[in-house]
Structure 1
């Protein structure tokens, strides 16, 4: 027998008709599913090759009624480079042969054939299966039924009588009997045909886009309606607490602009004839008052605004213009505006505020965690004539601190932000503790706008090493920590806001974009979220926004200044004085104007610019105290990897103990 007669297998195959002598579990090489001992199949006596009879008989091409646009072709292997593909029906990974369409649809053999039989009303598989009623006690308990979903509507089986098939498919009786075509009042021009939602159309009634499943669709007109929206039509009259009048259902045959969100809708609309507004079905229940991470006050939904109500017409999130004649979210205190769909795009970006809490206009008024307060982190001991605190007691240091503006030593770093001391600062007379005045005046607790736990406050802490949630830098300075998710934010990032940001490296103000495609003008890397300029093609990584403007390095006795690509006259600075490699003048670097020396940012700052050398590491397994060091004159071998400790390392301070280890060799996995 030829190889083609053996369905592509090199050995003879034996047909087993509802009987088998195999003792081990076997899987069909086409569909990847288990071959039942009682199911008709073909098997190889020499190796573990098996095929279901129905998979052998599967046609090489299907003109599927649920996908009339193109035929489905049977492929033995995935058409994709990585080899993986997801079935567009069951949403599971395809492990073997698939039915594939040129428009990007992929189906398991079993899924494609089963839906084909359902579409053609070939109910042979259902004739031997008893119809089950979830209200009648069966072998399945309620929890199990709740976990099983109908293969067509993907709703739990508990919602209706159903078939449960031997092949693993579950199907509501009402879904098995769905008509292939319907006439619907939302689209009079053509009938709607039941099919796969291959083009991911949103439903014209509920405006939602389901991840998988079927819709009734008119492809030429791009009209789609979910099965559920057909079987459960919208209510003729809807009342909602956010609006003083009831809304009446209105089937409209042409596009309209929703008065609530300002975007286009069609087919199913609700109107308020008293207020002369028309809205999407889903926009009836828009929250009236919310707290958004993008603004420090509560914002209110408005159907329209007058010109004098606003300072700026641009959305505070996407920065595109908002048409105030349509719905938006608005802060009357700051006179700012935001698109409805921008504010509500991600459920972690906002939470709903009840009308009785409307007076809570500021984030500072939100409830703190039990037992917490917002006491100042400093105790003022002395003030000067201008009322400025000149002597304080900081809660993170044992001694009193004195205010100074004169920088005597140029290699001192702030214990809070880990930057070089460059402005007014507090210092300790008894030990080498320095703290910028701005860092000393930070509150004990703070709401952080980009943090996902929106209703939580973050608490100022220190004495451990962490990775910043925003810029991803590792630091052992001060951090704000969330008690709910354990996220930590460094002091550099906690001062960033979604509002306008000024940068010395660019002449225009920068705006925060949650979604941005382009290159960072500081380092040249790809960007997803960025601070960018609306007027020109300038954008920065979040980590590059916080780059220190001054730094020190052992190769130069002076302070090095950050030099920007669009504002320097150092065309002769072609080489780094640290690594002696070339410098790309299109990106930022450090320069000493006195010595005319230049260096890459990475060469000056290193891999760990926010870890203070000489600080104690308290979290390791070594029995003695360890300090962070960088060896310069000799390079002892790391106790872990045996290589010289030229980079950041931890060294034991106990006399007689020669323990030294690379930081990268013992750093916790979460860092």
Structure 2
């Protein structure tokens, strides 16, 4: 297990690491690639520190404050600022006897206060400044070297005669500078439009595509990005997690297969001189034990997976048996590519080596006897009914807000509380592809929320991490591979902008096919295959996913307009009734009747009486199962859609 240490620069214990991580050091506040530093291992606290920043001396004497020693401490970011540069600070040095503070840069490696006349940068002296006057957002000023905007509080150099300003790092690297990975010749600073046509478009070391500037050697055709110039990658590293010997950087373009992850690289690997081992720099120091959001158990890194026909549990592509990867000790066939397991949308960035396994999940109910349970969401005992009774169409499961149909269910003998058997078995905590942290099952079923996957406003049970990450239990229960009768291939979670093959709407979360260009959004994918009762038919209605028209045109029984037989619709196998999906499921169909929305001003009411309710705005008799009652000034108004509600409210 890695040694966790307590350091005064941060409120939580810090974990030393040797991997490359791109981000902001919370000590010196520089934004760059950090290697061999410290990071926080707490949930949602991914702060990182350079090694030298985290291990700063606990006490120093400084020439700017000779009367008292300064102690290293964690400070209040909101109220603390450096006495020299005026920049806000979280970690720095402070005097216990007076209100004097220094950030780590000003305390240990301050840039020179004045750069004298230097023709290769500027003809006049440059004065160091913290750029406080740039806080005025009405004025736009840019660095004369890189031409990007300079914000208030950034450390800069400025010419008082010309009113030119420069980033501190730009002054160091302009007009040319040597680099540890290319010591033969200096690299010239160039803007992208100044680069020769033959120059590579991406950094030799990290591969980032140049957008504004680059540093280029014309003799060797070597190009390096700004970030790698500021913080050059080390020429040699040691990382026991992924390899037992010292690794050396080969700064050149070359095709290789990474031994740690089994995928191909095209530049600057680290190489072991003793055993012909090559590795991406991003694979150095892979975490040993982690949780990912695509699997219920912990997975562990192994340097060689061994013989087998392995397929990645995240991307579903082949995993090479002779290279490293992650595997589950409880599920013998589950493996994941190293790169897939450590993706930012898959891994929560928490390393678990040496951390005890979490206790078994608490069951959602206690078994009283063979037919009775006590569910954690309800005060009374629930009794099972496996006969699948034909219930009233308005009898809805309190968890998923759908009809019970012929499925087994648990019901309460003292009130109208009822759950599908499968909904009663929903786990109280689960991992889901939409969030790297575990989701908790919330059962305050009368509270309305919007699902981030299907975008329906719903009531019922929900899975939630925070107030931004809420999904209904229908979407939360989708397992991979997802099989839908509209498509011959299995579907998988995908987070990319695509168009639903059924409704044509664009979205970022969908269920996609790996074999062809087919995807479904969650709203279409989770339409119930059967609707037991509807006002237009006493028989079950079945979802039809597009059929060829055999005997002429199809007409909707509800709205009396044509139905496209190649699109989805509901139909009765006994009497041939056909209904549009939109004529069965409206905007309020995912809300339990009686649910209050917007501080009780809007209440969902059932539309199940013999005479259909009349919409106050569009004056139509709505065929949908639910209406919305809007109350204002003691007057109740019934509307059939949010469009009608908006017309009434903003008329």
TM tier, shorter chain?
0.5 to 0.7
Tell me, yes or no, if the aligned pair for 1:561 and 1:592 is still in contact at 8 Å. yes
- Alignment CA distance shift 1:222-1:636 (3 Å): farther
The number of residue pairs the alignment matches comes to 508
Which residue does 1:381 correspond to in 2?
Answer: 368
| CA apart distance, 1:562 | 0.8
CA drift of 1:596 comes to 0.6
Asked if 1:601 is matched to 2:586, the reply is no
SS of structure 2 residue aligned to 1:256: strand
- Please state if 1:401 is matched with 2:382: yes
Decide whether the 8 Å contact of 1:379 with 1:394 is kept in 2: yes
Asked if 2 retains the 8 angstrom alpha-carbon contact of 1:162 and 1:173, the reply is no
Stretch of structure 1 that moved more, 522-531 or 216-225: 216-225
Q: Equivalents in 1 of 2:144, 2:596: separation in Å?
A: 56
Indicate the residue corresponding to 2:165 in structure 1: 169
Quote the residue 1:300 is aligned against: 300
What does residue 448 of structure 1 align with?
431
Match of 1:316 among 313, 318, 322: 313
**Kept after mapping to 2: 8 A contact 1:163/1:173:** no
- Could you tell me whether the CA contact under 8 Å between 2:145 and 2:170 is conserved in 1? no
Single out whichever of 459-468 and 318-327 deviates more from structure 2. 318-327
Aligned partners of 2:217 and 2:223 also within 8 Å: yes
In 2 relative to 1, CA 535–616 (structure 1 residues): closer, same or farther, beyond 3 Å? closer
Match of 1:493 in 2: 475
Give the 5 Å matches for 1:503-582.
Answer: 503-515=484-496, 517=498, 519-520=500-501, 522-526=502-506, 528-551=508-531, 552-565=533-546, 572=552, 574-582=554-562
Q: Within 1, Cα distance between the matches of 2:435 and 2:522? A: 17
Q: 1:195 to 1:581 in 2, by over 3 A?
A: farther
Q: Is the 8 A contact 1:201 1:222 kept in 2?
A: no
Verify the 8 A CA contact 2:173 2:189 in the aligned structure 1.
no
Which residue is equivalent to 1:338?
336
> CA separation in 2, counterparts of 1:195 and 1:488?
47
Partner secondary structure for residue 493 of structure 1: helix
Answer yes or no: is the 8 Å Cα contact 1:187–1:223 preserved in 2: no
Structure number with higher relative contact order (C-alpha < 8 Å, ≥ 6 residues apart): 2
User: What does the per-residue CA deviation read over 1:74-98, in whole Å, with 9 as the maximum and x for residues that have no partner?
Assistant: xxxxxxxxxxxxxxxxxxxxxxxxx
Query: What is the Cα deviation at residue 627 of structure 1?
Result: 4.9
Give 1:617 deviation, angstroms.
1.9
2:401 counterpart (412, 418, 434):
418
Distance 2:126 2:328 in 1: 57
The answer to whether the aligner puts 1:439 opposite 2:423 as a matched pair is yes
SS at match of 2:584: helix
Specify which structure has the higher proportion of strand.
2
Tell me, yes or no, if the aligned pair for 1:481 and 1:487 is still in contact at 8 Å. Answer: yes
Separation in 2, partners of 1:440, 1:535: 35
Alignment match, 2:351: 353
Note closer, same or farther for the CA distance 1:466–1:570 as it changes in structure 2 (3 Å cut): farther
Counterparts in 2 of 1:466 and 1:156: CA distance versus 1, 3 Å: closer
Unpaired runs of at least 5, structure 1: 1-120, 367-373, 384-389
* Kept after mapping to 1: 8 A contact 2:326/2:337: yes
Partner of 2:238: 239
Matches within 5 A, 1:35-434: 126-128=122-124, 130-133=125-128, 152=145, 162-164=157-159, 167=163, 169-172=165-168, 175=171, 178-179=174-175, 194-197=189-192, 201-209=201-209, 212-217=211-216, 224-230=223-229, 232-243=231-242, 244-252=244-252, 254-266=254-266, 268-308=268-308, 310=309, 312-313=310-311, 315-334=312-331, 335-346=333-344, 349-357=347-355, 360=357, 365=359, 375-383=362-370, 390-406=371-387, 407-411=389-393, 412-422=395-405, 423-434=407-418
| TM-score, normalised with respect to structure 1 | 0.64
Is contact 2:144–2:166 with CA below 8 Å preserved after alignment?
A: yes
Partner of 1:617: 596
2:313–2:336: 8 Å Cα contact kept in structure 1?
yes
CA contact (8 A) 1:500 1:511 kept: yes
State how far apart, in whole Å, the 2-side matches of 1:376 and 1:602 are. 37
**Residue of structure 1 in register with 2:444 after alignment:** 461
TM-score (norm 2): 0.66
8 Å contact 1:242–1:288 — kept in the other structure?
yes
Name stretches of at least 5 consecutive residues in structure 2 with no aligned partner: 1-116, 194-198
Q: CA deviation at 1:284?
A: 1.8
CA distance 1:209–1:177, shift in 2 (3 Å)? closer
* Cα distance between partner residues in 1 of 2:514 and 2:294: 18
Query: Over residues 614-670 of structure 1, what are the superposed CA-to-partner deviations in whole Å (9 max), with x where a residue is unaligned?
Result: x24275255xx95524387475675xx6967847544489xx975234373389x9x
- Tell me which structure has the larger Cα radius of gyration: 1
Note the C-alpha offset of 1:500: 1.4
